[in-house]
């Protein structure tokens, strides 16, 4: 049973005005479950990487302090010994896969742990059966949905069988049913093993009473935190009277990688209203967004202003439909935050609305003002999401498709983002459809909900009279 001790840890990012952590000290005890719950950018992901001994010298400087496991400095442990003691589920799992399929990735992990070759297949089958991931074990990892990739990454983290497991936003992009399946695995680990589980989570409402101790990071220090969360609404969101819109599709059918995702669908995105697209992981929600963005092929008719979309050159279609990708770094063009915002403002289709004053105020509200001279790749996951969302809003195409825009956001940031979304949606009469597995607060802001499941897309919820 491993005990992790942090002593007087001081770490600073390059060009940051002050240290991220300053003489940080704490101890993680065996057989205890911890929650770290703090605003975006407070340093949770950075701390987790340091605790695993990752080299962050390109991003910052570890000025002083020690990380000990059972009184042994982490730096003195080799890969095998270290992985037996501590492992990490990263916030961005898609960037951590080295091989094509989950089976290959797990085989690689077990081989590096010197597992006898004859035992590897049964270990993989046992783990994937427990996680209910057998159906995707041989699918190319880059074809999985964001939620499925998150589940695959958890399988890899659990395969290491470390005594201390750090989970950075394990429920991000994961549907409620899958969250509950993963939680059952974590509960079993808690009840039947001596493992220490440490979870960074912005929305712990679906964990119930899972955690033994809850903390927050405040000004580079750790402090106890009392939390009372109620689960977000799972019932379908009620819908208002839907307005006419400019983008519609008729008899749309969608197949990807030889898998039928959508049998046939007809719908018009309402103008000046905000909609939620929900459904289980792997149902095809992101693929539908790619189809509407004309990035992948589909069957049926896509219309804009009553005319076939094919009448608009494919190179001009991004001026009609703006797509916010699930992985924020894939969307960034410029190295610095201020340059990314300046580019969005330069290309804005509504410069009269997104004035410099408006952009400055929105940046301030999202906590981006003090980050303007930072590299976009130096930001936390939540900060990247806020920058990405603001850039997409500023560009302000008439149709906006937002794929998991609220991943890694704390509740205050979520409320701010939803306020900015609804304001611009109503003023500019934009048609906005978003995918989000984080449902808290959405009932107050969304006008309707579409559910994609079992190859059908339907409008759900009762009409608000």
Token pair recorded at residue 189: 């680990």
Q: SS in 3 state form for 197-243?
A: EEEECCCHHHHCCCCCEEEEEECCEEEECCCCCCCCCCCCCCECCCC
Give 324's contacts (C-beta < 8 A, 6+ positions apart): 331, 388, 389, 392, 400, 401, 402, 403, 405
Taking the complete model, does pTM exceed 0.95, yes or no? Answer: no
- Give me the pLDDT at residue 119, please: 94
Cβ contact 5:27 at 8 Å: yes
Task: Using DSSP bridges, classify how beta strands 21-28 and 4-13 pair: parallel, antiparallel or unpaired.
Answer: antiparallel
Alpha carbon 448 to chain centroid, angstroms: 22
Domains and CATH numbers, the chain: 4-224 (3.40.50.300), 247-460 (3.40.50.300)
Token pair recorded at residue 188: 């079993």
377-430 pLDDT, tens per residue?
A: 888 888 999 999 999 999 999 999 999 999 888 888 999 999 999 999 999 999
Cβ contact 36:227 at 8 Å: no
Choice between 49 and 393, residue whose per-residue pLDDT is larger:
393
Choice between 289 and 238, residue whose per-residue pLDDT is larger:
289
Task: Using DSSP bridges, classify how beta strands 213-218 and 431-435 pair: parallel, antiparallel or unpaired.
Answer: unpaired
Strand partners, 166: 88, 198
72-127 pLDDT, tens per residue?
A: 998 888 877 888 899 888 877 666 788 889 999 999 989 988 899 999 999 999 99
Task: Give the pLDDT mean for 436-464.
Answer: 91
Q: Alpha-carbon distance 369 to 366, whole Å?
A: 8
Instruction: Give the highest mean pLDDT range of 235-244, 347-356, 440-449.
Output: 347-356
- Give me the pLDDT at residue 228, please: 66
């Amino acid at each position: 049973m491993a005990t992790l001790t942090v002593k007087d840890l001081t770490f600073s990012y390059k060009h940051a005005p002050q240290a991220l952590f300053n003489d940080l000290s704490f101890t993680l005890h065996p057989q205890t479950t911890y929650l770290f719950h703090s605003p975006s950018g407070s340093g949770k992901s950075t701390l987790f990487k340091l605790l695993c001994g990752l080299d962050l010298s390109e991003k910052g400087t570890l000025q002083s302090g020690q990380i000990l496991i059972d009184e042994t400095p982490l730096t003195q442990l080799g890969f095998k010994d270290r992985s037996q003691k501590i492992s990490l589920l990263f916030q961005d799992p898609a960037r951590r896969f080295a091989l094509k399929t989950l089976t290959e990735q797990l085989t690689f992990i077990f081989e590096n742990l010197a597992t006898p070759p004859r035992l590897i297949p049964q270990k993989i089958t046992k783990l994937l059966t427990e996680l209910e991931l057998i159906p995707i074990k041989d699918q190319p990892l880059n074809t999985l949905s964001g939620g499925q990739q998150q589940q695959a990454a958890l399988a890899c983290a659990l395969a290491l069988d470390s005594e201390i497991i750090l989970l950075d936003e394990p429920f991000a992009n994961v549907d409620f049913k899958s969250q509950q399946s993963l939680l059952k695995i974590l509960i079993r680990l808690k009840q039947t093993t001596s493992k220490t589980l440490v979870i960074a989570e912005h929305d712990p409402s679906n964990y119930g009473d899972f955690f033994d101790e809850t903390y927050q990071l405040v000004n580079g220090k750790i402090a106890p935190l009392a939390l009372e969360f109620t689960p977000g609404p799972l019932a379908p969101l009620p819908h208002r009277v839907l307005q006419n819109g400019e983008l519609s599709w008729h008899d749309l059918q969608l197949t990807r990688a030889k898998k039928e995702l959508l049998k046939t669908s007809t719908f018009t995105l309402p103008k000046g209203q905000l909609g939620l697209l929900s459904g289980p992981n792997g149902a095809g929600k992101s693929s539908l967004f790619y189809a509407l963005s004309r990035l992948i092929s589909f069957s049926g008719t896509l219309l804009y202003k009553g005319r076939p979309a094919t009448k608009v050159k494919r190179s001009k279609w991004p001026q009609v439909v703006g797509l916010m990708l699930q992985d924020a770094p894939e969307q960034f063009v410029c190295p610095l935050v201020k340059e990314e915002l300046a580019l969005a403002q330069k290309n804005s289709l509504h410069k009269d609305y997104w004035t410099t004053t408006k952009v400055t105020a929105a940046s301030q509200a999202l906590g981006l003002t003090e980050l303007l001279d930072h590299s976009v790749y130096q930001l936390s996951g939540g900060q990247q999401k806020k920058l990405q969302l603001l850039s997409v809003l500023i560009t302000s195409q008439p149709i906006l498709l937002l794929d998991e825009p609220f991943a890694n956001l704390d509740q205050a940031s979520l409320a701010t983002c939803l306020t900015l979304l609804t304001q611009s949606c109503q003023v500019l009469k934009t048609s906005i459809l978003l995918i989000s597995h984080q449902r808290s607060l959405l009932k107050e802001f969304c006008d309707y909900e579409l559910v994609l499941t079992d190859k059908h897309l339907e409008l759900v919820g009762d009409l608000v009279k």
